Structure 1
């Protein structure tokens, strides 16, 4: 005999409809909430202008296009440092960028979309508390004018360590290396104008034995990226970027009225950070050998090393290893390689050897300033007097500073092909990946 069901038929129908309604409503909410994607809004507050980058990722953190581009980008001039006497006006200059960025991010995703601002050289150079007041004005703007996910500590002046680590993250992401073992990642040397950053992943053993930097900061950062933990060695050498290093080389020559690094026939000055340096060539022109001596002196190659191995200036080198085996050099390394014909300037990257910079330096140092365009027709007018110095410095930095073999092949990179796009490996992308990866 079958057991009788005690539930009335109409109750069962209502229960089914209720469950169906709840399930379909849940599906509908999932579809409408864009839970399959993440956004990040990153402000780059540079010395010449402010830029906003909006990035869009899927759940696997693959970069997705926004419209016809791989990111949304908008820039304005001047930069925040121009508002030293009016911080509120500086903050308000970002409002059009903020409004545009918000219009790109779906409304229901805005509360969980990170909003970060990193200021670079421009604010670093401001006197007294001008930078502090500008940053506070920006924090007030973000707090009152946006529904994006904002934290006060996410508005700051980037230090070299942050720039270096974000660049490493961005480049390895674009190359498809993140999420893999640290041995599969590449090392980066980013030669900017004011500083140079070396960054690469090291073994857990090396990380545990890492000393502290001279200022007490750690040499090693630990980051979890795409489900993989990385110990990342990073050091920023302030005053050893391409433009700042010129002043260090001038200082290394003492009170000489001329410099063997300046092209023959040039008599003038080099101004950096408001200080003018005499930049005149000796009577017999520039000398590669003497310029090399000055470059090594400027780098403090012979500084005491308290560790088993150092780069220059007594700085710990991270112990090398598999993460340093494949090296990518960027910024001025790429610019000069393209300018003097080491690589094809029409391509976003190319292979080079340090010794090729030395060969180019020999040509430059043996050429008079009036003839340099016939040797290197693509050289920028501003760099003409310093081309011997710059190429000597880049070779010396790679070989004597960072310990590369003169014939070691490296990649000099400006941009990377990602899917069907050419993408610049800039710090805002690395910052976006870092913050989205840590929050997802």
Structure 2
């Protein structure tokens, strides 16, 4: 028979073993994430103050995953009524007042407790760049008024400023590749963050009202210093080519085209317009050319007065293309292959591109965003240009009558810009994707701008994911089983004795 002391000793051992088994089991089942506090949602907002209109975007993200990719979602998109803020140069307070309706909408979606911590930015693009060239004091006053309005709201106002064209292009490039997880991805199999292939990095094509931008990673490392932007994101270095062409946005292009057509017929008050539909007429004042630096240059061929000229549509696709090509100085490049126009350097395009903003909207109207061949696109545009104004008006009663007559010019301009200037060809054309959204967010420069200014894209690689390491998990399970077996054996021995 076992003595009482031995029984107590054996019982104590069994108790300890069972207790260790329970503790090990509990610890193995509880993850780090299970004991953390609920995630905190943060908000941020950016005004895109473009040349023709202003839009507000509100974003939200889980603060626990602030430096991960693909965690920011778009909560609100609000279009400001009226023209761009540069149109208020003669009455700056109205520029600030124009933002109020969208700011009020933003406060409806951001919880009151989060509003004071929500960073708020306004970035102005080509319209304000032009105004600054023409009247820098007026540009400063407009920015001061929009800042004053935003400071009156319960948000963390971080500034209103004019972006450079290169910044606009680079932030658009960041937005696209962030939303498409092109910078870094988490591999569940390897339990680590991995760097996607460079071939999966997208280029960005942006067409606005007053400027257009192209940004991409060329093949190899052959970017001349004056065309390179260097970025360090998630532990990797990127050298991208980005360039912005002021006065080559579609609205300024239309003004410049009209002026050139008038210059070619200086003594006539009725001028043929090959890009406008047949039977469509538009009367413009010559003094309107004074309102933009893009058309207000010294031109001995035309004395700009206060007279009026009527542009008469001819619906001539080939004539439209020929007139548009005259807006580019292709001869300045000579025989250089690394040149677009006006002597501007550009390495050969490579990789896939996302074409957004006016690139997308014009082609979407023509049903050309589904990956059609270049031949089909050309044929569709040519056919559209031959349609009369009466035909178009009756076929598209819902379309804005001010935009409808301009789709022929816009579409042909896009072809000229992409093929003749940027030098896409029959093969590389298939690498262009016309798209305005990625996931739940609009494609554009605003998200990239906010990510950069809030330091949500770190230069360092993301930290490793929390969770069980497989080898440690296996060791924990083995320990639990052995402990339980030993405890059971000791208990049986006690009962048997």
Q: TM-score, normalised by structure 2?
A: 0.64
Q: Is structure 2 residue 79 aligned with structure 1 residue 71? A: no
| Contact 2:213–2:243, Cα closer than 8 Å, also in 1 | yes
Distance 1:388 1:165, change over 3 A: same
| Contact 1:224–1:438, Cα closer than 8 Å, also in 2 | no
- Give distance in 1, aligned partners of 2:255 and 2:100: 38
- Once the two structures are TM-superposed, the CA of residue 438 in structure 1 deviates from its matched residue by 6.1
State the match for 1:290 in structure 2.
Answer: 319
State the match for 2:365 in structure 1.
Answer: 339
State the match for 1:397 in structure 2.
Answer: 417
Identify which range, 254-263 or 310-319, moves more after superposition. 254-263
Higher RCO (CA-CA < 8 Å; seq separation 6+): 2
Secondary structure of 1:337 counterpart: helix
- Give distance in 2, aligned partners of 1:86 and 1:377: 35
State the match for 2:436 in structure 1.
Answer: 414
Secondary structure of 2:446 counterpart: helix
Secondary structure of 2:424 counterpart: coil
Identify which range, 179-188 or 263-272, moves more after superposition. 263-272
| Contact 2:315–2:385, Cα closer than 8 Å, also in 1 | yes
Render the CA deviation track for 1:28-87: whole Å, top value 9, x for unaligned: xx848x6x776544233345446252332523434547xxx7425556556655664665
Give the structure with higher Rg (CA). 2
- Give distance in 2, aligned partners of 1:375 and 1:90: 36
Distance 1:277 1:159, change over 3 A: farther
State the match for 1:426 in structure 2.
Answer: 444
Distance 1:54 1:101, change over 3 A: farther
| Contact 1:328–1:411, Cα closer than 8 Å, also in 2 | yes
Distance 1:330 1:378, change over 3 A: farther
- Once the two structures are TM-superposed, the CA of residue 136 in structure 1 deviates from its matched residue by 3.7
- Once the two structures are TM-superposed, the CA of residue 135 in structure 1 deviates from its matched residue by 2.5
Q: Is structure 2 residue 344 aligned with structure 1 residue 315? A: yes
Q: TM-score, normalised by structure 1?
A: 0.71
| Contact 1:247–1:272, Cα closer than 8 Å, also in 2 | no
Distance 1:311 1:148, change over 3 A: same
- Paired residues for 1:175-214 under 5 Å: 175-179=180-184, 180-202=196-218, 205-207=221-223, 209-210=224-225, 212=226
User: What is the root-mean-square deviation in Å for CA atoms of aligned residues?
Assistant: 3.9
Secondary structure of 1:118 counterpart: strand
Secondary structure of 1:303 counterpart: helix
Residue among 276, 297, 312 paired with 1:262: 276
- Give distance in 2, aligned partners of 1:143 and 1:378: 39
Distance 1:398 1:123, change over 3 A: closer
Unaligned runs of 5+ in 1: 1-26, 213-218, 344-349
Distance 1:104 1:119, change over 3 A: farther
Residue among 231, 244, 249 paired with 2:239: 231
State the match for 1:44 in structure 2.
Answer: 48
- Once the two structures are TM-superposed, the CA of residue 268 in structure 1 deviates from its matched residue by 2.2
| Contact 1:160–1:235, Cα closer than 8 Å, also in 2 | yes
- Once the two structures are TM-superposed, the CA of residue 122 in structure 1 deviates from its matched residue by 5.0
| Contact 2:284–2:310, Cα closer than 8 Å, also in 1 | yes
Distance 1:249 1:49, change over 3 A: closer
| Contact 1:357–1:391, Cα closer than 8 Å, also in 2 | no
| Contact 1:61–1:437, Cα closer than 8 Å, also in 2 | no
- Paired residues for 1:72-87 under 5 Å: 72-73=76-77, 77=81, 80-81=85-86, 84=89
Residue among 386, 390, 394 paired with 1:370: 390
